[in-house]
Amino acid sequence: MTLVMKFGGTSVGSADAMRETADLILQARDTWGDVVVVASAMGSKPVKVTDLLLQGAYTAFAGDLDTYPQLAAQMRAIHYEAIDGLLSPEGERQIILAEMERFVERFTTLCGAVSVLGELTPRALDAISGMGEQMSVRILAAYLRELGYDSEAIDATELVLTDGNFQNAAPQTAATRAQTTARLQPLLDSDAIPIVTGFIGATSDGVTTTLGRGGSDYSAAILGQALDADEVWIWTDVDGVMSADPRIVPGAVSIPTLSFREVSELAYYGAKVIHAKTMRPCVESGIPLRIKNTFNPTHPGTVIEEDAGLSRQNGALKAVTAIKGVSMITVEGKGMIGVPGIAARTFGAVARLDVSVLLITQASSEQSICFIVPEAAAAAVVGSLEAEFADQLNRHDIERIWSRDAIAIVTIVGAGIQTTYGIAGRVFGALGDHQVNVIAIAQGSTECGISVVVAGEDVDRAVEHVHELIVGGGKVS
């Protein structure tokens, strides 16, 4: 039996956390036989190594020559402290310290190059931001060796072949399967424990790419699919997927089971606990996914199961999530009525900017199309639409293209909530009772989510009161 286990930033965030993680790896190995480990960059809150790496790149780009050397020192200290706590001087301590130094130097050199060139390409960002995982896996594998187990740190650049879409690269399934089995199977056959970097991959030319922020979860699913794993487990710092972000809603509770669709909807609409793309390889290959807490391992966490279970649970509100810092773009005009192609041209103009649209609504009279994009992209989107529709604006067929900033999307997830009588009414009732004005509504096609757009200042209140419906028994019979 093969189990792929991914450990997030906090699970490898200190010597103590790595010790806990190593225990979990060894226990799993006793039960499952073959265990492949995927690890994130070290991330004891609030300092995440990936954030430090990115901050170094951006400050160097801005011409600031003081910050990245300080960040290099901070990164060195974080990794050295873990090594000091885990590896003995008689063992590999010096070797691994030297390896860390190599990465810290590389970071400094790359940041220096960025500042000299005054250029920061997505490719350079990936080379820099992917180093955190390369550092953490080397420490964890060395610690397992120190405990007497055969273990090897492996850069996923050897395994996960991706396209060249830096910062958000897409894996190529067949080549990844071939490379992964060729490299990992012999290790598993000889009872070694592979510790693989999350987050990164490489193009066919061997250039490092990343799968997007939070992408180590996705790495685990990609490797699980490539190895035909029996299960994929995501170890993090909370008791599985919860009914709301526990940092925002203290009363959030752990959800024992969710369907792939429900969790995809939650992740897509902002629940950071799992990367939104993680579910796809698991669904495609029928691999069960589990989310568990490294710091409370006896808690069962959340099991994510096939969508078939949805019908059994009609009407249960399960979780609420929010995305802040988004803008609503509106294209409005009486001359749009019944004119074919306006929507296609609108989204074509957005796509050309490589901006992803988070939610769309259209008034039934077709007098307006509204959609949500990240706030940082709003001005560019409006500019691109004004250029696209210059003629229509001149003729006043389109009267206005504008962006409303500082808004948020609140999404409520649960199987069958769109089709269960009374649910939407209760959600809107709760929002109305607490003076939350709903700016727009969208229901996805999956029948397991309703999204509402609210003003940024209302979002925490909206989440809190919708959450009361969940914990207060959101089930409508």
Please state the closest distance from residue 272 (CB atom) to Mg ion, in A: 6
Q: Give the binding-site size for Mg ion (rule: CB under 5 A).
A: 2
Q: Give the binding-site size for ligand ASP (rule: CB under 6 A).
A: 14
Q: Which does 361 bind (CB under 5 to 8 A by kind): ligand ADP, ligand ASP, Mg ion, none?
A: none
168: DSSP letter: S
Helix and strand numbers (H, E) in the chain are: 15, 16
Residue 391 near residue 333, CB atoms below 8 Å: no
> Which residues in 39-78 contact ligand ASP (CB under 6 A)?
40-41, 48, 50
Mind giving me the DSSP string for 7-44? E-TGGGSSHHHHHHHHHHHHHHHHHHSEEEEEE-----
Task: State how far the Cα of 274 lies from the Cα of 264, in Å rounded to an integer.
Answer: 9
Q: Which does 246 bind (CB under 5 to 8 A by kind): ligand ASP, ligand ADP, Mg ion, none?
A: ligand ADP
If the CB atoms of residues 17 and 120 are measured against Mg ion, the closer one turns out to be 17
Please state the closest distance from residue 165 (CB atom) to ligand ASP, in A: 16
Q: Is 270 in the site for ligand ASP (CB under 6 A)?
A: no
Residue with tokens 């850069």: 155
Q: Is 102 in the site for ligand ASP (CB under 6 A)?
A: no
313: DSSP letter: G
Q: 455 - beta bridge partners?
A: 407
Please state the closest distance from residue 64 (CB atom) to ligand ASP, in A: 22
Residue with tokens 């490299």: 183
Q: Is 199 in the site for ligand ASP (CB under 6 A)?
A: yes
Positions in the binding site for ligand ADP (CB under 6 A) = 8-11, 40, 43, 214, 236-238, 241-242, 244-247, 271-273, 319, 321
Q: Is 171 in the site for ligand ASP (CB under 6 A)?
A: no
Q: Read off the tokens for 466.
A: 């919708």
Q: Is 9 in the site for ligand ASP (CB under 6 A)?
A: yes
Mind giving me the DSSP string for 400-458? EEEEEEEEEEEEEE-TTTTTSTTHHHHHHHHHHHTTPPEEEEEE-TTSSEEEEEEEGGG
352, amino acid identity: R
Taking CB under 5 A as the binding criterion, the range among 4-12, 168-176, 404-412, 431-439 that sits at the site for Mg ion is 4-12
If the CB atoms of residues 221 and 271 are measured against ligand ADP, the closer one turns out to be 271
| Element spanning 102, H or E | helix 93-117
243: DSSP letter: S
Q: Is 216 in the site for ligand ASP (CB under 6 A)?
A: yes
| Element spanning 393, H or E | helix 390-394
Q: Using the rule CB under 6 A, which residue among 215, 240, 301, 444 binds ligand ASP?
A: 215
Please state the closest distance from residue 219 (CB atom) to ligand ADP, in A: 11
Q: Read off the tokens for 413.
A: 């997830």
Q: Using the rule CB under 5 A, which residue among 198, 214, 270, 414 binds Mg ion?
A: 214
Letters for 130-169 (x = contact with ligand ASP by CB under 6 A, - = none) are --x-------------------------------------
Please state the closest distance from residue 136 (CB atom) to ligand ASP, in A: 9
> Which residues in 5-44 contact Mg ion (CB under 5 A)?
8
Task: State how far the Cα of 405 lies from the Cα of 403, in Å rounded to an integer.
Answer: 6
Nearest alpha carbon to residue 122 among 210, 213, 215: 210
Q: Which does 330 bind (CB under 5 to 8 A by kind): ligand ADP, Mg ion, ligand ASP, none?
A: none
Taking CB under 6 A as the binding criterion, the range among 15-23, 210-218, 255-263, 417-425 that sits at the site for ligand ASP is 210-218
Taking CB under 5 A as the binding criterion, the range among 1-9, 68-76, 130-138, 377-385 that sits at the site for Mg ion is 1-9
Q: Is 270 in the site for Mg ion (CB under 5 A)?
A: no
Q: Is 328 helix (H, G, I), strand (E, B) or coil?
A: strand
The H-assigned helical ranges of 227-299 are 260-268, 279-285
Residue 9 near residue 42, CB atoms below 8 Å: yes
The pairing of beta strand 368-374 with beta strand 319-332: antiparallel
Compute how many other C-beta atoms are within 10 angstroms of the C-beta atom of residue 104: 20
Q: Which does 103 bind (CB under 5 to 8 A by kind): ligand ASP, Mg ion, ligand ADP, none?
A: none
Q: Is 224 in the site for Mg ion (CB under 5 A)?
A: no
Taking CB under 6 A as the binding criterion, the range among 110-118, 153-161, 209-217, 297-305 that sits at the site for ligand ASP is 209-217
Q: Is 240 in the site for ligand ASP (CB under 6 A)?
A: no
Q: What angle do CA 342, 344, 346 make, to 5 degrees?
A: 65
If the CB atoms of residues 10 and 392 are measured against ligand ADP, the closer one turns out to be 10
Please state the closest distance from residue 158 (CB atom) to ligand ADP, in A: 22
Q: 427 - beta bridge partners?
A: none
Q: Is 201 in the site for Mg ion (CB under 5 A)?
A: no
Q: Which does 412 bind (CB under 5 to 8 A by kind): ligand ADP, ligand ASP, Mg ion, none?
A: none
Task: State how far the Cα of 263 lies from the Cα of 270, in Å rounded to an integer.
Answer: 11
Provide the binding-site residues for Mg ion, judged by CB under 5 A.
8, 214
Provide the binding-site residues for ligand ASP, judged by CB under 6 A.
8-9, 40-41, 48, 50, 132, 198-199, 213-217
